[in-house]
Amino acid sequence: MGSLSGKTIAVVGATGAVGAEMLGILAERGVPDDRVRAVASSRSAGREMAYGEGLVTVTEVTRETFGGVDIALFAASSDLARELAPVAIEAGADVVDNSSAFRMDTAVPLVTPEVNADAIPDRSKGARLIANPNCSTIMLLMAVTPLYRAFGCRRLVVSTYQAVSGAGAAAMDELRTLTTAALAGEDANPTIFSESCAFNVFSHDSPLDPTTGRNKEEQKMLDETRKIWNDASVEITATCVRVPVFRAHTESINIELAEPATVDEVRGSIVGFAGVEIVDDRAANRFPTPLKAAHGDAVLVGRIRPDGSAQPDANGRYRRFDLMCSGDQIRKGAALNAVQIAELL
Ligand SMILES: NC(=O)c1ccc[n+]([C@@H]2O[C@H](COP(=O)([O-])OP(=O)(O)OC[C@H]3O[C@@H](n4cnc5c(N)ncnc54)[C@H](OP(=O)(O)O)[C@@H]3O)[C@@H](O)[C@H]2O)c1
């Protein structure tokens, strides 16, 4: 079970898409149910959630929830995190927060363990607050950090194909309902998204800055990548889009390396990077997809090829490459990443 052994863990938002997944991962890790406090809003008090072979009962989160808790995993809103993370820390619990509340706070580490575990401080100054990055940022950095380490990175151009579950459990219900209605030829209005997510593709639903034209999801990818790599020099731009997929995000990535490389060298840099699996079978036209990635821990990377507009140097090396990745954003993009951080605390 690793470093979670003997620890009491609170899951705040246990009834949501991320919180329910956290419960599943903690059970897989062998954390006994009497060491887990599943908490959510008063709406869910008394609800039973699956925990391994058994069930845990949800209670309402209060300021008293955190007494005796070693680690609090927050999977609720930014507002709730701002209100209760300081309370949990005051009670002595380390906090890992999945919301965007603290991600760009310079005093708060933003961590993907395979990329920057060294950003986690020790406990000498008391209980710690660690922010979990945005799910799209995690997928991107899992795919390109091996290239960044081996060859450097000047520029990233990213397009996302994001599953509806990134907007929570209710968004999955909406995709199911609207798809069923559309197939039956019935009218049904969306409630979670402003556009129908059934048989449709639309610009990410996060608020859009009228000055820059970027939505919040795109801005998060820019800001968080530079913070996690601790490298302000990386040029990065993103276009974030929702697609009618239940779970697992996919991304198309164009990377300009600082040092040129061959396809084999790029592929070789990814092999062995923890948490990443290459799915890149040109002969079979088999590449990363959300269905292959869903419910798995690995971020799948493939379609690794020189940028079609790039010219090789005299040694057959290229500076620009295209690639794709798919990863389960509820797991590696949120719940699993948070539990991995908890295991390092
Ligand atoms: N979904 C993803 O792929 C993903 C990926 C990365 C990060 N995140 C982030 O993770 C967090 C959770 O997302 P989610 O997708 O799991 O959302 P969700 O499915 O909508 O679940 C939200 C959870 O928060 C709880 N909650 C809401 N208001 C509360 C309150 N006032 N007091 C206590 N609990 C409250 C809900 O409890 P009730 O059931 O009682 O309302 C529910 O358990 C968000 O900050 C989200 O941005 C999500």
C-alpha to C-alpha distance for 51 and 22, rounded to whole angstroms: 10
List the domains of the chain with CATH numbers: 2-133+334-344 (3.40.50.720), 136-329 (3.30.360.10)
Residue nearest to atom 30 of ligand 1 (CA): 41
Q: For residue 2, what pLDDT band results from cuts at 50, 70 and 90?
A: low
pLDDT digits (tens, 9 = 90+) for 26-67: 999 999 999 999 999 999 999 999 999 999 999 999 999 999
Among 132, 1, 127, residue whose Cα is nearest residue 75: 132
Bridging pattern class, strands 153-161 and 249-261: antiparallel
Q: What is the pLDDT of residues 263-309, one digit of tens each?
A: 999 999 999 999 999 999 999 999 999 999 999 999 999 999 999 99
How sure is the predictor about 3, in pLDDT bands with cuts at 50, 70 and 90? confident
For residues 253 and 322, is the Cβ–Cβ distance under 8 A?
Answer: yes
The mean pLDDT of 69-91, rounded to a whole number, is: 98
How many residues are there in the chain? 345
Exposure string of 141-167, with b = 16+ CB inside 10 Å and e = fewer, is: bbbbbbbbebbebeebbbebbbbbbbb
Residues near ligand 1 (Cβ within 6 A): 13-19, 40-41, 43-44, 61, 75-77, 80, 98-99, 135, 165-166, 168-170, 329-330, 333-334
Res. 1: pLDDT tops 50: no
In angstroms, what CA-CA distances link 240 with 177, 253, 267, 276? 24, 12, 26, 22
Of all residues in the chain, what percent carry a pLDDT higher than 90?
98
With contact defined as beta carbons under 8 Å apart, do 249 and 332 qualify?
no
So which residues are the catalytic ones?
A: 135, 249
Per-residue pLDDT at 193 exceeds 60: yes
Quote the tokens at residue 86. Answer: 């300081």
C-alpha 168 to ligand 1 mean position (Å): 7
Mean pLDDT for the stretch of residues 75-85? 98
Dihedral of the alpha carbons of 269, 270, 272, 274, in degrees to the nearest 10 = 130
Residue 324 has a pLDDT of 98
pLDDT at residue 239, rounded to an integer: 98
Helices and strands (DSSP H and E) totals, the chain: 9, 16
Return the residue whose CA atom lies nearest to atom 14 of ligand 1: 168
